[in-house]
Amino acid sequence: MALAAAARGDNGAFERFYDATAGYARGLARQLLDAGEVDDLLADVYFEAWRHAARFDAARGSAVTWLLTLVRSRALDLLRRRSTQPSAGGDVQPADEVVDHDPAERLWQAQAGTRLQRALQLLTPAERWVLGLAYFRELTQAQIAGCTGMPLGTVKSHLQRAQTKLRAALAESAP
């Protein structure tokens, strides 16, 4: 909804889209890239999302999925470019020396996160929201209560239930 309004030029809608998705996008980018590359990548991705918001097709998936696909695609492009560029000495590093930057390894790590994504789907929207604020925005419980308007006890309960559900779901799906 917000992305469709952003495609029509509604800046406020795009800001709401950014606020709702930035934590997820940052989390995925952190899994794939070095910390110093995350902010630049996200700036590029959100600029692209703004320019091409009309390309989003709600029939094909959610706006968050569309955005995360952009993040993943741009991150993998960056990793591929980096792994094929010569080092400062002019030599290309052998693949076994750049395992940490190997796109296939990073992709595997990102896809391993799908267990977590499935587990997150078991949470209620309120539990996901509070958990996202705690882990992606790094807010304290009191700050979460302040920005959501929830009582502090409710925030604590949501976080506790969410963590318990995630632990159980991840333990069940462990390889």
Domain carrying residue 103: 1-112
The reply to whether 165 and 133 lie within a common domain is yes
pLDDT less than 70: residues of the chain: 1, 84-114, 173-175
Whole-number pLDDT of residue 105 = 56
**CA 143, CA 88: separation in Å to the nearest integer?**
45
**CA 131, CA 48: separation in Å to the nearest integer?**
28
Is the torsion defined by CA of 136, 112, 43, 56 positive or negative? negative
State the number of CA atoms in the 13 A half-sphere of 163 facing the CB: 9
152-164 pLDDT, tens digit each: 999 999 999 999 9
Whole-number pLDDT of residue 51 = 84
**CA 59, CA 113: separation in Å to the nearest integer?**
24
For tokens 């959610």, the residue is 62
34-60 pLDDT, tens digit each: 888 888 888 888 888 888 888 888 888
Whole-number pLDDT of residue 110 = 57
CATH code of the domain in which 103 resides: 1.10.1740.10
Task: Give the DSSP H or E segment for 89.
Answer: none
Whole-number pLDDT of residue 161 = 93
- pTM of the full predicted structure? 0.49
For tokens 């390889």, the residue is 175
Domain edge (last residue) among 72, 88, 112: 112
The reply to whether 66 and 143 lie within a common domain is no
Domain edge (last residue) among 112, 134, 165: 112
Q: Which of these, 152, 170, 158, lies nearest to 123 by C-alpha position?
A: 158
For tokens 């409710």, the residue is 154
- Please count the structural domains in the chain: 2
**CA 33, CA 35: separation in Å to the nearest integer?**
6
